[in-house]
Amino acid sequence: MFLAIRELKHSKLRYLLIGLIMVLVALLVFIISGLANGLSSDNASSIQNMKADYFVMEHDSKNKLNRSIISMEKLDEIRASSDVKAAEGLGQMMITLNKVGSSEKTDVTIFATNASGILAPKVIEGTNYDNKKQGEVVADSSLKEVGYKLGDSLKDDLSGKVFTIVGFTEKQSYSHSPVVYMNVKGWQEINPALKNQGNDSISTIAVQMDSKAEENVRESLPEDLTLISKDESLQSIPGFKEEQGTLTMMIAFLFVIAAFVLAVFFYVITLQKTNQFGVLKALGANTSFLAKSIVGQVMLLAVACIAISVALTYGVTLIMPEGMPFELSTNLVIKYSLLLLVVSVLGSLLSLYRVAKIDAIEAIGRVS
C-alpha cells in the first residue's frame, strides 16, 4: 500500500479518469438491476407475493396458467398428502373489461380463488368478495390510478357478465396487468374454455410445502399433472423470461466491460512502468510486494468508485418519476458491489502476470 496510495495521489488525473468510467459502469449496473427488479415485480408481483411454494399444473399446459385445467377434485387429493402443508385452487385468465357507463377498457388478469383460503388477497380498502355471491371482485390498487373506485361496475363483453369492485388489494400484477380477484364460480362462468364442460375446474393448485418433499409429491401425482416451483411458474409468465433475460444480459456485459476496461488500463500503466518495476525488483522488492501494490490500487479505486455510484444510484431514485418500475434491495446492492470488486481484481491479473515476468537484471546496464 506504500506505493499504491502515493502513486494514486501523484497521478490524480489519470486515476480520476479511469475512476469516472468505473463509476459510470457501476451506476449503470445498479440502475439496470433496479429496473430489472422493478419490472419483474411490475410484471409478476402477484405470483412473487403469493403464499405458495409450488404449483400443480396440467401436464400438457407447458407451464402456462391459461392453458392448464385441473378438476377441482384433485385439490382434496393433494391436500390429503402428508407432505403438503396447505393447498388451494386458483383459476386464471386474461380478459379485457369495460367500465360500465364509459368507453374505458382495461386489460386485467382474473385470479379466482377461495375468498378465505391461503391465496385470498389482502384487502386494503373496502371488503373482500363473497364466495357465494356472484359479481363481486377485489381489484389491484393500480386500477385506482386509472380512475376506478369502489362500487364501479365492470363488464366482460364476451360473456356479458358484470362485476362490481367491492375492495382493493395491492402489489398484485400478472404479466404487467392488474389482477382482479373473484370467486371460482364467477371465473368458471366467464371462461370460454370451460363453458361447455360443466365441470368444476381450476387452472392450478398452489401448494405450500417443503422443498424436500418435492420428489415425493411429484411422484404421487397422476400422469396428466405436473409440479413446478414458484420460480418456474414466474419464468412461464408471458414476456417475463424475455424481459429479465435482456436486462440480465446487459448487466452481465457491464461486468465484462468493467473487467476489460480495468485490465487494459492497468496493463498499459504496468507496461509503462516496466523499468521502474525492474529497479524496484533489483533493490529487493519481490513480486508479491509489487502485486499487492497493484491489487491495492485496484481495490482502493474500485471501492471508492462503487461507493460513489451507490450514492449516485440512491440519488437518482429520488428524482425518478413516481410510476417508474424501480426496486433495488440493499442485498442486491451489496451483492453487485462485491461482484464488481471481484471483477476489478480479476482485471488486474493480467498486470500481475506482466510484473511477475519483469527481471530485476534489467535495472543494470540501462541508460534510461
Partner 1 sequence: MMGDKLLFENVSKIYGEGDNKVTALDNISLNVRAGEFVAIVGPSGSGKSTFLSIAGALLSPSKGRLLLNDEDITSLSPKKLTRVRLEKIGFVFQSSNLVPYLTVRDQLLLISELIGKRDKKTMKKADELLSHLGLGHRADHLPEALSGGERQRVAIARSLMNDPEIILADEPTASLDSKRGRDVVEMLAHEVKSRNKAAIMVTHDERMLDLCDRVVNITDGKVFG
Per CB under 8 A, residues contacting partner 1 are 2-3, 6-7, 9-11, 275-276, 279-286, 289, 360-361, 363-368
Q: Cβ 364 to Mg ion, closest distance in Å?
A: 7
Residue number, 226 or 351, with CB nearest to partner 1: 351
Q: CA nearest 82: which of 229, 224, 213, 219?
A: 213
Q: Cβ 277 to Mg ion, closest distance in Å?
A: 20
8 A C-beta contact, residue 188 and residue 194: yes
Q: If contact means CB under 5 to 8 A according to the sort of partner, which of partner 1, Mg ion, none does residue 86 touch?
A: none
Q: Cβ 11 to Mg ion, closest distance in Å?
A: 31
Residue number, 320 or 363, with CB nearest to Mg ion: 363
Helix (H) or strand (E) holding 96, with range, is strand 84-99
Q: If contact means CB under 5 to 8 A according to the sort of partner, which of partner 1, Mg ion, none does residue 307 touch?
A: none
Residues 83, 42: Cα–Cα separation, whole Å: 32
Residue number, 24 or 269, with CB nearest to partner 1: 269
> Is 367 one of the binding residues for Mg ion (CB under 5 A)?
no
* Identity of residue 220: S
Residue number, 151 or 365, with CB nearest to Mg ion: 365
Phi/psi for 165 (5° steps) reads -75, 115
8 A C-beta contact, residue 105 and residue 158: no
Residues 6+ apart with CB under 8 A from 160: none
Q: If contact means CB under 5 to 8 A according to the sort of partner, which of Mg ion, partner 1, none does residue 101 touch?
A: none
Q: If contact means CB under 5 to 8 A according to the sort of partner, which of Mg ion, partner 1, none does residue 160 touch?
A: none
User: In angstroms, what CA-CA distances link 241 with 93, 175, 210?
Assistant: 19, 11, 25
Residues 368, 365: Cα–Cα separation, whole Å: 9
Q: If contact means CB under 5 to 8 A according to the sort of partner, which of partner 1, Mg ion, none does residue 132 touch?
A: none
Q: Cβ 285 to partner 1, closest distance in Å?
A: 5
Residue number, 199 or 275, with CB nearest to partner 1: 275
Residue number, 9 or 212, with CB nearest to partner 1: 9
Residues 6+ apart with CB under 8 A from 191: 91, 93
Q: Cβ 272 to Mg ion, closest distance in Å?
A: 24
Q: Cβ 276 to partner 1, closest distance in Å?
A: 6
Q: If contact means CB under 5 to 8 A according to the sort of partner, which of Mg ion, partner 1, none does residue 195 touch?
A: none
Report the phi/psi class of residue 172: left, alpha or beta, with left for phi > 0 and alpha for psi in -120 to 50. beta
Q: 10 Å Cβ neighbour count for 113?
A: 25
Q: Taking the CA of residue 59 as centre, how many other CA atoms within 13 Å lie in the half-sphere pointing to its CB?
A: 6
Q: Cβ 262 to partner 1, closest distance in Å?
A: 20
Q: Cβ 1 to Mg ion, closest distance in Å?
A: 35
Using Cβ positions, the residue closest to Mg ion within the complex turns out to be 365
Residue number, 134 or 276, with CB nearest to partner 1: 276
Q: If contact means CB under 5 to 8 A according to the sort of partner, which of Mg ion, partner 1, none does residue 21 touch?
A: none
Residues 340, 26: Cα–Cα separation, whole Å: 8
8 A C-beta contact, residue 156 and residue 163: yes
8 A C-beta contact, residue 183 and residue 121: no
Q: If contact means CB under 5 to 8 A according to the sort of partner, which of partner 1, Mg ion, none does residue 360 touch?
A: partner 1
Question: 195 in helix, strand or coil?
Answer: coil
Kindly write out the interface string for residues 307-346 of this chain, putting x where it contacts Mg ion by CB under 5 A and - elsewhere: ----------------------------------------
Residues 217, 82: Cα–Cα separation, whole Å: 9
Among positions 365, 366, 367, 368, the unique one binding Mg ion when judged by CB under 5 A: 365
8 A C-beta contact, residue 288 and residue 277: no
Q: If contact means CB under 5 to 8 A according to the sort of partner, which of Mg ion, partner 1, none does residue 316 touch?
A: none
What is the binding site for Mg ion (CB under 5 A)? 365
